[in-house]
Homo-oligomer: A and B are copies of this chain.
């Protein structure tokens, strides 16, 4: 951030009065520009024991597999956002949504929220941000080609808890995990 989005003057990084951390403050109109964490909402869609995964057509992690998820938009609930992303990425209608896994990713200032859900009529397709999509049983999942640690953790937890039929909502803090070189796994 270099310029004030309100008046167009230059901003400076300083600690406003009464605050305890640096903010971008406008040198002309004194407007304080706060930058806050963002929420990523997604679904773990299950149909007849299989989970819907999408192969990413965009960066980051182009060509790796993910659960449908993306940035939450203004004016929607987390569940609405998760269902919207499921439609956008996998052309699937999410039904019977239940909040399931939440992840803190403080090193990139993101909070992930995944919902368990079902697929209306078991139908799905391929949205513009995906190369392909498909339903995978536990032993068919491309575990070594998953795009993000949050996806792996959510899938792992789901298959571990599935037999019990009890899926408590849980929040987990993840630390930065560098991707090993010359491998698609992280």
Contact = CB atoms under 8 A, between A and B. Distances in A.
Chain copies in the assembled complex? 2
B6 A74 contact: no
Interface string A32-60: 01111111000000000000000000000
A18 B104 contact: no
Interface residues of A, number: 43
Given A74-B37, A77-B104, A128 B18 contact: yes
A2 interface: yes
A134 interface: no
Interface of A: 1-8, 10-11, 18, 21, 24, 33-39, 71-80, 99, 102, 104, 106-107, 109, 111, 128, 168-171, 173
